[in-house]
Amino acid sequence: MKKVITALVALVILALMAWGYVQNAHHSEGHDKGKVEPKEIIFEHLGDAYGWEVPFSHTKRIPLPIIAFAQDGSFHCFMSSKVTDGDTYKSGDADFKISTDEDGGYKGKLVQVLGDGSEYRPWDFSITKNVLGILIAGALVILMTMSLRNWYKREGFKGPKGFKGMLELVVEFVYTDTIKPIMGKEAPKYGPYLLTAFFFILTMNLLGLIVIFPGGANLTGNLAVTMVLALITFFVTNLTGTKHYWKDIFWPDVPIALKCPVPMMPLIEFLGILTKPLALMVRLFANMLGGHMVVIVLIVLIMVFTGMFGVGVGAATSVVSVLLSLFMLVLDTLISFIQAFVFTLLSTIFISMAHIHEESKAITE
């Protein structure tokens, strides 16, 4: 039975791929044949979009709602299918389109076309591919954790099995084995934030590795997403910091010469406050982006080589590329977990470091 299902799934996927290939072949007839733009392909896949690709079709998009405030402050909401293929959509008295202007700085973004033909970037609150991805990830996290919670509610002390057992293992690993030893008494207070961050990041990372809807959005490889996460840790760290934490920054225990006439150490310490979230933000972003990029580059290589040397070389490359990208995806699965864990671990350390007290410091000395 299992073999039959596997065979059927494989057949369906193959059929879809063949169909997609035929579609693409039709589509690309108009373009320069064999001309591949690797940079465009890569950034198109890594970037945000106003629609979500339908699996195995390069042209079809799942339309998503566009929400924007025009220059005059008026509110506009319409589906992204109205502005695809360079169409201009008139919503009320404002014209919207997706910019194709290379020099305008808004390429690929929603712009309002003003009366004089110039482009204005409105306040854009659209549910883009990434936003929907974030919402899906959030919903998944709620579903997963709720299922674990309901298990405990229903079964009491019985150990969960299967997926819930794995979830429990991860929660145990992150909370009991990591947050608790670092935070000590404060673990129950900050545990929920750190666990939420961990599961949210992990889910987004893993969703990013699934190629087709509802995955495929490069969420944690987007600076906006990691910036928000790092900023939250930054604010939690600094807004709950103790008096001693601030004293250590502006009047650290170093020789007076290092801090009195020229506040060198305080300056360095203060920069440390800013570099910590910056490091968090860039680390997660770069790791996830890098993983995605390597996989895409390996796949694009097939097309590049096919374009350059013909089908034979392309076919040979595809074998190597698929194997290598498979390896990269497996590695990325590991990186997804590690980066989510590292973000949580560092957040835990930063927050607990901001909660240092005079007496606890005396013990460590």
Residue 323 to residue 345: CA distance in whole angstroms: 33
Stretch that binds other proteins, among 219-227, 261-269, 303-311, 327-335 (CB under 8 A): 219-227
Which residues pair with residue 204 across a beta bridge? none
- Between 41 and 60, how does the x/- string for binding to other proteins read (CB under 8 A)? --x--xxx------------
Stretch that binds other proteins, among 226-234, 307-315, 337-345, 355-363 (CB under 8 A): 226-234
Element (H, E) at 94: strand 94-98
Residue 249 to residue 267: CA distance in whole angstroms: 8
**Which one among 14, 224, 315, 322 touches other proteins, defined by CB under 8 A?**
224
- Between 87 and 106, how does the x/- string for binding to other proteins read (CB under 8 A)? --------------------
Spatial contact of 348 and 182, defined as CB atoms under 8 Å apart: yes
Q: Which of 167, 177, 121, 125 has the alpha carbon at shortest distance from 144? A: 167
Structure tokens at 264: 């060198």
Tell me the closest approach of the beta carbon of residue 152 to other proteins, in angstroms. Answer: 4
Examine residue 286 and tell whether it contacts other proteins (CB under 8 A).
Answer: no
**Which one among 9, 135, 166, 262 touches other proteins, defined by CB under 8 A?**
135
Examine residue 236 and tell whether it contacts other proteins (CB under 8 A).
Answer: no
**Which one among 41, 113, 223, 297 touches other proteins, defined by CB under 8 A?**
223
By beta-carbon proximity to other proteins, the closer residue of 84 and 220 is 220
Q: What is the largest CA-CA distance in the chain?
A: 79
Spatial contact of 192 and 121, defined as CB atoms under 8 Å apart: no
Examine residue 153 and tell whether it contacts other proteins (CB under 8 A).
Answer: yes
Residue 221 to residue 27: CA distance in whole angstroms: 29
**Which one among 79, 168, 186, 245 touches other proteins, defined by CB under 8 A?**
168
> Angle 101-104-110 (CA atoms, 0-180°, nearest 5)?
70
By beta-carbon proximity to other proteins, the closer residue of 47 and 266 is 47
Site for other proteins in 248-277 (CB under 8 A): none
Torsion angle of C-alpha atoms 44, 232, 149, 134, degrees rounded to 10: -20
By beta-carbon proximity to other proteins, the closer residue of 108 and 310 is 108
Examine residue 229 and tell whether it contacts other proteins (CB under 8 A).
Answer: yes
Examine residue 141 and tell whether it contacts other proteins (CB under 8 A).
Answer: yes
By beta-carbon proximity to other proteins, the closer residue of 43 and 250 is 43
Site for other proteins in 111-130 (CB under 8 A): 123-128, 130
**Which one among 56, 96, 175, 234 touches other proteins, defined by CB under 8 A?**
175
Spatial contact of 193 and 175, defined as CB atoms under 8 Å apart: no
By beta-carbon proximity to other proteins, the closer residue of 121 and 244 is 121
Residue 178 DSSP label: I
Distance, C-alpha 98 to centroid of its chain: 23
Q: Which of 261, 265, 234, 238 has the alpha carbon at shortest distance from 249? A: 265
Examine residue 200 and tell whether it contacts other proteins (CB under 8 A).
Answer: yes
Tell me the closest approach of the beta carbon of residue 196 to other proteins, in angstroms. Answer: 5
For 97, list phi and psi in degrees, rounded to 5.
Answer: -155, 170
Residue 29 to residue 263: CA distance in whole angstroms: 66
Residue 330 to residue 335: CA distance in whole angstroms: 9
Residue 180 to residue 172: CA distance in whole angstroms: 10
By beta-carbon proximity to other proteins, the closer residue of 36 and 170 is 170
CA end-to-end span of the chain, whole Å?
65
Which residues pair with residue 53 across a beta bridge? 61
**Which one among 19, 21, 120, 152 touches other proteins, defined by CB under 8 A?**
152
**Which one among 8, 9, 12, 146 touches other proteins, defined by CB under 8 A?**
146
Which positions lie near other proteins, rule CB under 8 A? 43, 46-48, 107-109, 123-128, 130-131, 134-135, 138, 141-142, 145-146, 148-149, 152-153, 156-157, 159, 168, 171-172, 175-176, 188, 191-193, 195-197, 200, 221-225, 227-229, 232, 289
